[in-house]
Structure 1
């Protein structure tokens, strides 16, 4: 082995030993999160699905009354409706898990179509400094408040989701920061950066010096002894998985450090902060009734009748505007929505922005999470992310076993040489 490769092996080895347990943990929890939506819906199917009927869906006002009867002190923040007739309507409540009036710092949660959670990060705003949530002035973050699920045909309450008590929220907190706040997030960010170096040095070590050595490095020699299989699993499968693991680690770094998002904004000449939502004009006549959620939904359906989902976020202040997010068919991710802001009194469009019109930096940051979890192209990439995550968890183990085998072999060779020298002497 050349001195250069020997140096790379040393770096690869000690970085792997130092971060091996964290890499195993991150890869395993990441594999679980790849199927968050599917597992969540399977565990609580009654929460997300109903039997469609021939009767039309009830007005949102009636569903809101059912939610208020279920939680008299709750204040409704918005609605999410799906084109799928078998899906329930998700009603978001104002405030964090503590209920109305919870502090902004208590509001959290990441967006997932199956779990009905929404946040600025899901829409590509949380991967850099200055990213706003779904609100801003007049529309303060709707992010992590409880979600009530309602049967759109009967107004029956089918379930409730509190993000803080959700199993996958806990797994995500462990995956992204060991549930240890900023320090844990920093540890995971550094670990992801180290993992990039491990993958890079691994590729250098994998690269054969002779062409005839290439084929053995591309195949697992099935039927061999366990040591050979362990070697092939680490070398051959590691090569195939390295590209995908590199992408996952890179996006993990992007979600861990604010400077990554800031750098992307600077390189793409994108604004550092998301503009504040527009405000509504005070009505000329005092006591004018605000525009209703049903009227907003009717307008959204008129403009995008083939949309997969509609999210209507109602204003929380008298000067706030109504936000409507529409997910078009074939959207690249679930956060690739078109957004419209309406005056809450007149229903007039104040501003609008399609996904394609978003700043490039915001769109890039918005891809971090779906690429990281494999949700970027649906079920096929989720399966790929799941498999790659499991493989990633094995590499620190197989690498450690290889190192121990080499040490044992080296020790045995040293002992044999010592015996031979004693015999000669």
Structure 2
């Protein structure tokens, strides 16, 4: 063996032995996350699906009343509606259920807030409250992942769009898949765990690179045996072929997964992409609404939905995010058919009083750096192409979990073989 290959084998071996258990753990938890949405829908079908009715869907104001009856002190942040007639409406809340307070916040004060909120949702603002929008979340520009903070972070309540019955609720920060994701990305250890997983993903890139160098045959006649598994051979030979041959086929996909994992772990990767693509480091602040005329009432969520459907009648989803401040704007995110990811939405900002478009940005108009960073997670989990790429991610994740095991077995077999040679030479 040449000195170069010996060096690469040494690096490949000890990096693999040192991080093998962590790689197995990351690959297995990644397999769970590949079909997160499908598993969630299978486990809780009543939360996400309803039987479509012959009657038209109820207005959002009526759905908001149902949510308020369930969560009296919660504030409605946004509505997400699906074109699929079997899907429930997702109502995101900003802030959770809290007990009553004394003083101005208790008793009549709470009742007055609820009355104001109901009036705003129905389009009838009480006198002296024209500038306020109780029960709404602050409209902010989406973050790195393409979602606004209030759109994904608060409690979600699911409502039947035909009967206004609440079918379930979900705290995105406190469910099974969020725990698995936290384990996968940072071992539930905060910034330290995230750093450990980022370093582990970087080491995995070196393991894959050195593995390809070791795989590459020196002679053309040795190429065919390294591309196929010799079924029916001894278990040692099968273990060798699983590691060498299947490792070659999976290496490209594992390299992409590890590379996107590094990108999600270290902020400097995103900053570097922004600089290379001349993209802004921060997203611009959303536009503000003009000062309303005396007695002007804010636009209702139903009126905003009508405008959104006029602009994109065949969209898959519509998300209406309401403003909190009197000067805030209404954000409407539309996911069109054939979008590359669920975050590839077209965004429109409306004046909350006149309904005029005061800002817009299609997915294609987003800065290149933002679009690249937004692809990290869907590429990493296999969601980029729907269930075929998710299935591919599942298979590659399972294979990735076997390689540290088969590699360790190869190393142990090689050690036993070398010890036998030493004993024979000594004899």
Q: TM-score, normalised by structure 2?
A: 0.88
Matched, 1:171 2:180: yes
- The secondary structure found in structure 2 opposite 1:376 is helix
1:194 to 182, 188, 203: 203
CA RMSD of aligned residues (A): 1.8
SS of 2:358's partner is strand
Contact 1:220 1:232 in 2 (8 A): yes
Q: CA deviation at 1:96?
A: 7.0
Could you say which residue in structure 2 is the equivalent of 1:301? Answer: 309
**Runs of 4+ residues over 3 Å off in structure 1:** 95-99
**Gap runs ≥5 in structure 2:** 100-138
Tell me by how many angstroms 1:249 deviates.
Answer: 0.3
User: Following the alignment from structure 2 to structure 1, what is the Cα–Cα distance between the partners of residues 58 and 371?
Assistant: 35
How many residues in Structure 1 have an aligned counterpart in Structure 2? 388
Which residue is 1:38 aligned to? Answer: 38
Residue 63 and residue 290 in structure 1: after superposition, are their counterparts in 2 closer, same or farther (change >3 A)?
same
> In structure 2, what is the Cα distance between the partners aligned to 1:299 and 1:168?
35
Instruction: For 1:20-169, list aligned pairs within 5 A.
Output: 20-95=20-95, 125-126=144-145, 134=148, 141-169=150-178
Task: Measure the CA separation in 1 of the matches of 2:3 and 2:425.
Answer: 24
On the 8 A contact 1:5/1:205 being kept in 2, the answer is yes
- CA–CA separation in structure 2 for the residues paired with 1:96 and 1:251: 34
Question: In structure 1, what is the Cα distance between the partners aligned to 2:154 and 2:81?
Answer: 17
DSSP 3-state at the match of 1:53? coil
CA 1:355–1:98 in 2, change beyond 3 Å: closer, same or farther? Answer: farther
1:17 — aligned with what?
17
Deviations 1:266-286 (A, max 9, x none): 00000000011111122121x
Give TM-score scaled by structure 1 length. 0.89
Change beyond 3 A, Cα 1:149–1:376: same
Please state how far the C-alpha of 1:317 moved relative to its aligned partner. 1.7
Q: Aligned in 2, Cα 1:210/1:252: closer, same or farther, shift over 3 Å?
A: same
Aligned residue runs from structure 1 range 300-379, under 5 A: 300-379=308-387
- Which ranges of structure 1 fall in alignment gaps of 5 or more residues? 100-119, 127-131, 136-140, 420-425
Residue 164 of structure 1: how far off its partner (Å): 2.3
1:183 to 2:231 alignment: no
SS in 2 for 1:173: helix
Moved more, 311-320 or 78-87: 311-320
